[in-house]
Amino acid sequence: MRLKAGIWIKAYIRRLASEGVMAVVVRHGDDDAGAVFIRVNRLDGSSNLFGPAPAGLDEAQMERPMMALFDGRPVRDEEADDYLERQRSFDSDLWIVEVESRDGRHYLDDWLLR
């Protein structure tokens, strides 16, 4: 059984808080099965985005596998906003969590597909 989105996000935000990193839920999706997008705001006008791994790439036997979007490179905040808005138009149940991190640390290493 897959971990519920709401529980995963609470644990992720608690992990960030333990490291002294600020994170907020920008968009609350479906508590049980909503897709999760993480936006790492670098506080310089750019952000890194992470989202759910596409179906078929989650064979890694991990809970909620994530992947770096835009080849892992930071994009302008406007580009990140546009991307997330497009995703929201496809899936009204998605979650968006914003992390503030000047150095781009995301603490997603255990969930990232390589």
Taking only the tens place, the pLDDT of each residue in 79-112 is 999 999 999 999 999 999 999 999 999 999 877 7
Model confidence at 76, in pLDDT bands (50, 70, 90)? Answer: very high
Quick check: 52 and 36 in contact, CB under 8 A? yes
- In this prediction, residue 24 carries a pLDDT of 97
- 64 pLDDT above the threshold of 70: no
Quick check: 64 and 7 in contact, CB under 8 A? no
d(CA 103, CA 60) in angstroms, rounded, equals 28
List, in order, residues 6 or more apart from 107 with CB less than 8 Å away.
12, 15, 16, 19, 21, 99
Query: Which of 15, 26, 18, 17 lies closest to 49 in space, CA to CA?
Result: 26
DSSP state of 63: S
Quick check: 98 and 41 in contact, CB under 8 A? yes
Mind listing the pLDDT tens digit for each residue in 23-53? 999 999 999 888 999 999 999 999 999 999 8
d(CA 69, CA 52) in angstroms, rounded, equals 9
Please state which CATH number belongs to domain 5-100: 3.40.1530.20
- 57 pLDDT above the threshold of 80: no
**Are β-strands 23-27 and 46-52 bridged in parallel, bridged antiparallel, or unpaired?**
unpaired
Domain boundaries defined on the chain: 5-100
